[in-house]
């Protein structure tokens, strides 16, 4: 499990930090027998209140990551190899590097793509494109095509993670970009649909022709509001679960 001494950064809350650390521990199979420590043990180890620990546990239960057995404890939910992680922020997306692998399929190259250039609000039709798979426990569950603005693409041309065919790493494109951009990535807009598998997805994910896949499009922008990356991903539903939590603002 990750360092229990980590404290929330700006914008984070203590229970979210603990929940993410527990997720990482689950992903790395750090809990013997699949049983998590008790609330009292976690509160003492992390220097947190029982209420904070309980809230973190409730989030994992609601996300289907763990389940509780009264009188016995909290256990990892064995979900048949399905990958599940909370995505509520750009930091969560960067966190894919913690427990999945980046497998380069088509190296970064400069090309003409009218639709992608339009989505990135470019003045011409030139973009930089890279295609890769995501693997969890050595099982591919996602195929992603990333289009970058010319300025963003040039920042990555010397990185083997996106230029050397067959390379596997713990990278994320937004993580690689964020460390090099003058203005860091600040937000992302996404749309979720279902679409038949493309030929490349069939080949790289091993799915039947035309199988319906979860299709997620994300457009990332920097702190100036300038789009820098368009990511088009296809997910195998049997190996991937997308969860989000919606909250209602109630009058006080």
Query: Distance from first CA to last CA of the chain, Å, rounded?
Result: 38
pLDDT per residue as tens, the chain (252 positions): 444 445 554 445 889 899 889 988 887 778 877 889 999 999 999 999 999 999 999 888 877 778 887 778 888 876 544 555 555 555 556 555 567 899 999 999 999 999 999 999 999 999 999 999 999 878 899 999 999 999 999 999 999 999 998 899 988 998 899 889 999 888 889 999 999 999 999 999 999 998 999 999 999 999 999 999 999 999 988 776 666 666 666 676
d(CA 101, CA 94) in angstroms, rounded, equals 12
| Cβ-defined contacts of 175-180 (< 8 Å, 24+) | 175/94, 175/97, 177/148, 177/152, 177/220, 177/228, 177/229, 178/94, 180/155, 180/156
The residue among 249, 166, 153, 236 whose CA lies nearest residue 201 is 236
Torsion sign over Cα 52, 56, 61, 63: positive
d(CA 90, CA 181) in angstroms, rounded, equals 15
Length of the chain: 252
What is the structure's pLDDT at 100? 83
What is the structure's pLDDT at 2? 43
Cβ atoms 77, 66 nearer than 8 A: yes
Residue 159, C-beta contacts closer than 8 angstroms, at least 6 positions apart: 176
What is the structure's pLDDT at 10? 41
pTM for the structure as a whole: 0.67
81: left (phi over 0), alpha (psi -120 to 50) or beta: left
């Amino acid at each position: 499990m990750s360092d229990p001494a980590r404290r929330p950064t700006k914008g984070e809350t203590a229970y979210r930090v603990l929940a993410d650390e527990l997720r990482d521990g689950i992903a790395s199979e750090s809990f013997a027998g699949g049983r998590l420590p008790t609330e009292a043990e976690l509160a003492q180890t992390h220097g947190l209140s029982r209420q904070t620990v309980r809230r973190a546990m409730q989030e994992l239960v609601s996300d289907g990551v763990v389940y509780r057995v009264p009188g016995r404890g909290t256990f990892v939910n064995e979900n048949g190899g399905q990958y599940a992680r909370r995505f509520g922020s750009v930091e969560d997306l960067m966190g894919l590097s913690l427990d999945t692998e980046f497998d380069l399929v088509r190296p970064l190259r400069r090309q003409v793509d009218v639709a992608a250039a339009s989505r990135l609000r470019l003045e011409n039709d030139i973009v930089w494109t890279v295609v890769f798979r995501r693997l969890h426990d050595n099982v591919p569950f996602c195929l992603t095509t990333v289009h970058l603005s010319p300025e963003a693409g040039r920042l990555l041309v010397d990185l083997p993670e996106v230029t050397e065919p067959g390379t596997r790493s713990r990278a994320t494109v937004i993580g690689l970009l964020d460390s090099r951009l003058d203005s860091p990535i600040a937000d992302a807009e996404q749309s979720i649909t279902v679409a038949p598998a493309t030929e490349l997805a069939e080949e790289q994910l091993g799915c039947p022709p035309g199988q319906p896949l979860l299709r997620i499009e994300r457009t990332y922008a920097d702190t100036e509001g300038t789009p820098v990356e368009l990511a088009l991903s296809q997910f195998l539903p049997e190996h991937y679960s997308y969860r989000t939590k919606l909250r209602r603002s109630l009058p006080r």
